[in-house]
Amino acid sequence: MRISFTFGADVRETQGKGASRRLRHTGKVPAILYGAHQDAQALVLDQQNLLTMIADERFYSSIVRLKIGERTQEAIIKDVQMHPARNVVVHVDLQRVIENETIRIRLPIHFRGESVSPGVKTQGGVVSHMRADVEVSCLPKDLPEFLELDLSGMSLNETKFLADIPLPAGVAIPELTQRNAPVVSIHAPRAEEPEPVAAEAVAAVPVEGAAPAIAGAPGAPGAAPAAPPGAPGAAPSEAKKGEAKKGEEKKEAAPARKEGGKK
């Protein structure tokens, strides 16, 4: 079987949140090793050593060898938990590997031929990746480092699926028993949307054939709203104008009649 990484591990005697917190303060990482019909074993790994290895893509898709005291154990990485705010490994899950037992592990998908594909080179398409890795099952001796998918023959609006990934002998994709999910496609680039026009700019454009607004007219920009009848400052109605005029005529006529009586 292909061994890509070898590192030491110590048996962890104390467990629990408090013990794990103290380990991290000393530059150590709590880990758990399980599988192969054996009891789970708590381990301690070195923080700096792990940070060097997790930067390599192969660390997650390879069989690693653990040196635990005087013995060695082959395993695969099942999970690496990172601190949400700092570049620090919080916990590692490992699964034992036995030579004659099938393992399930996620492998990266490497894409080649994107720039020379007709869909990109001559048709102006854009490559869209829906998957970056996929879980495979195989014996440890058949485990490849990665899977490769050739896009050099793809045209615009074409899609490649899980079933299109070439698999080495002895390697299978369990997900294919349920669905053939899309992996990568080439599609036309999205057209840029026009910038929205401000509502003020639209309102300022005069409508063809419309009469110009007269300053002071009702509804014209800057015109004061008309006051309701009877309100202070409101213009008197025609009927009230007539009543006021008759009242003034009566006042003028009354003194004339009074003078006539004296004579």
Query: Per-residue pLDDT tens for 65-86?
Result: 999 988 999 999 999 999 999 9
Mean pLDDT to the nearest integer, 25-31: 90
Domain 3-99: top CATH class: mainly beta
Q: Is the pLDDT of residue 256 over 50?
A: no
Question: What average pLDDT does this structure show over 220-247?
Answer: 52
Model pLDDT, residue 69: 87
Q: What is the mean pLDDT of residues 17-43?
A: 88
Residue 54 dihedral angles phi and psi, to the nearest 5°: -70, -15
Task: With a cut of 50, say whether residue 55 has pLDDT above it.
Answer: yes
- Across 224-232, average pLDDT: 52
Is residue 197 pLDDT above 70, yes or no? no
Is the pLDDT at 120 greater than 80? The verdict is yes
pTM over 0.75: no
Q: What would the mean pLDDT of 41-64 be, rounded to a whole number?
A: 93
Q: Which residue has the tokens 């399980």?
A: 34
Confidence label for 160 from pLDDT (cuts 50, 70 and 90): very high
CB 133 within 8 A of CB 72: no
Burial class, 106, CB count within 10 angstroms (exposed 0-12 / middle 13-18 / buried 19+): middle
Pick from 76, 68, 71, 95: nearest CA to 5: 76
> Starting from the edge strand earliest in sequence, which strands make up the sheet with 103-112, in order?
133-138, 103-112, 147-150
Taking residues 203-223, what's their average pLDDT?
A: 53
Tokens describing residue 207 = 């409508």
Query: What pLDDT score was predicted for residue 257?
Result: 47
Place of tokens 């069989």: 63
DSSP-assigned letters across all residues of 185-251: EEEPPPPPPPPPPPHHHHHHSPPTTPPPPPTTSTTSTTPPPPPPTTSTTPPPPHHHHHHHHHHHHHH
What are the Cα distances from residue 223, in Å, to 55, 78, 100, 207, 232?
71, 75, 92, 20, 18
Return the CATH number of 105-187, one of 3.40.50.300, 2.40.10.10, 2.170.120.20, 2.102.10.10.
2.170.120.20
Is residue 124 scored above 50 in pLDDT?
yes
Domain 3-99 and domain 105-187, same fold? Reply is no
The label of the residue with tokens 């054939």 reads 209
**Residue where the block lists tokens 């019909």:** 37
Of the two residues 21 and 200, the one the predictor is more confident about is 21
Is residue 247's pLDDT more than 70?
no
More confidently predicted of 107 and 248: 107
Query: What is the pLDDT, as a whole number, of residue 225?
Result: 52
Domain boundaries, the chain: 3-99, 105-187
The predicted pLDDT at position 241 comes to 53
For 194-206, b/e burial (b = at least 16 CB within 10 A) is eeeeeeeeeeeee
For residue 29, the model assigns a pLDDT of 93
* Dist CA 160 CA 19 (whole Å): 48
Report whether pLDDT(104) > 60: yes
Which of 110, 150, 142, 4 lies closest to 63 in space, CA to CA? Answer: 4
